[in-house]
Amino acid sequence: MKAKKGHKAQVKYLFISPSKIRPVADHIRRKPYAEALAILEGSPQKGARILSKVLQSAAANALAQNKKLDEEMLYIKELQVNEGPRYKRVWPRARGRRDILLKRLSHVSVILDEIT
């Protein structure tokens, strides 16, 4: 398997469901770094704040590895929101019964690359 070129950042075991982050991620996928940050700044969702932090971390990794690189030359090459493990919790119901409540976790990974 060939390694993907670019600068990567990832966050694992986030206490937010992947279904809540994915719509926000779809808005910024394949966009320039500065434009994506502007979109996330104006979004009220919790997922937007999380993606903003991951994106800034990937940009910091890119700038640390390549001193000649400019933030305006970066774009989001790949953005994945995957499902992490699920925590199972008991939810009491009527007449002594119970339901299983699934606490879903997420893994987010971002790859930034240069605009050529």
Domain boundaries, the chain: 7-114
Q: How confident is the model at residue 1 (pLDDT cuts 50, 70, 90)?
A: very low
Residue 4: strand, helix, or coil: coil
Work out the number of other CB atoms within 10 angstroms of the CB of residue 75: 18
Per-residue model confidence as pLDDT tens digits over 3-55: 557 789 999 999 999 999 999 999 999 999 999 999 999 999 999 999 999 99
**Domain 7-114 classification at class level:** alpha beta
Mean pLDDT, residues 82-103: 96
Q: 96's torsion region: left (phi>0), alpha (psi -120 to 50) or beta?
A: left
pTM: 0.85
